[in-house]
Amino acid sequence: NAGVMQNPRHLVRRRGQEARLRCSPMKGHSHVYWYRQLPEEGLKFMVYLQKENIIDESGMPKERFSAEFPKEGPSILRIQQVVRGDSAAYFCASSPARVNTEAFFGQGTRLTVV
């Protein structure tokens, strides 16, 4: 899974600041997923994107969270006005442009809100 690159690995933000998490999918992959893992919890689906399109954002909080996957460049998960409850590990995964295949994960970004 080293092919999916996430940065930064660790991010510390004060309450009220913005957090930007980046994900570069594996070469040839056009599908990107974002997941959040809270302490002692499983992986919660947040959003599924293809290039320039949000396919499914049913797991995204309605406010403060947004995601994009532009034609050029990495996918970005953006959290505005962060709160302590946003502290979690955020994982990005990518898959090729076909259904029913495994997704490959990055190492994650651990966000800490102080």
Are the beta carbons of 64 and 81 closer than 8 angstroms? yes
User: Among 24, 25, 26, 35, which residue sits at the site for another protein (rule: CB under 8 A)?
Assistant: 35
Q: Which token pair is 86?
A: 């946003």
Those residues whose C-beta lies under 8 Å from the C-beta of residue 15, and which sit 6 or more positions away, are 82, 83, 84, 113, 114
Q: Which stretch binds another protein (CB under 8 A): 11-19, 44-52, 69-77, 80-88?
A: 44-52
Enumerate binding residues for another protein (CB under 8 A).
1, 4, 6, 31, 33, 35, 41-45, 48, 55-56, 91, 93, 99-100, 102-108, 110
